[in-house]
Structures are given as structure tokens and as C-alpha cells.
Amino acid sequence: MTAYVIATVNVTDPEKYKNYMALSPAAIAAAGGKFIVRGGNPKIMEGEWPRPRVVIVEYPTREAAEAFYTSTLYVAAKAEREGAAEFSMIVVDGV
């Protein structure tokens, strides 16, 4: 079953965040993921939204999505993101 990783992001150090943006696509691709939304221009339709940037990545399976998060490539990317953004991430099953 398809799974999606969804992140909300508030970039606090754009220069440092560039390092994360340079590394994360390879980690995503290595696990079979593909970007569905990267950044976007969210308009709040109802309620509150925590951050101005949204990322949605589709994976062929939940196992692949979870493997991406713990992969050596993504661990390195996360280290580059440290101190550059407020970040939340979830994985959800598709339909």
C-alpha cells in the first residue's frame, strides 16, 4: 500500500537549509520516494496551519517510507537541517 511522508517546515536559516535541500532528494529517491508537494503556497481553508512550507513525498510502501527516515543518507541530511528549520514529519498510509 502506498504511504506518504508529510512534513511542515518553517525555515529559520535559509542559507543552512540549502545544505539539507541538496542532500534530502537523494535519500528520498533511494527509498523509492517521489515529491508530490515541495514547498507549495498553502492557503488556510479552515482551522490553523503550523508552518508556511509543506512537503509531501509518496512511497510505494510504508516500509519504504520508514526505511527512508532511518537511512544513512537521510540521517546525514537531518544533521545538516539541525538549527536551520522548525520541522514536523509524519508517515500515513495511502488508500
Q: Is 89 a residue whose pLDDT tops 80?
A: yes
| Residue 46 counted as domain residue | no
Q: Give pLDDT tens digits for 43-76.
A: 999 999 989 999 999 999 999 999 999 999 999 9
The model's pLDDT over 21-47, given as tens digits with 9 standing for 90+, comes to: 999 999 999 999 999 999 878 999 999
Give a yes or no: residue 23 inside a domain: yes
Domain that holds residue 17: 3-41+51-93
CATH code at 27?
3.30.70.100
H-state helical runs in the chain: 14-30, 62-70, 72-81
> In sequence order, which residues have a C-beta less than 8 Å from that of residue 28 and are 6 or more positions away?
34, 35, 57, 68, 74
Question: Is the entire prediction scored with pTM above 0.85?
Answer: yes
User: Domain total for the chain?
Assistant: 1
Cα separation, 3 vs 57, in Å, equals 8
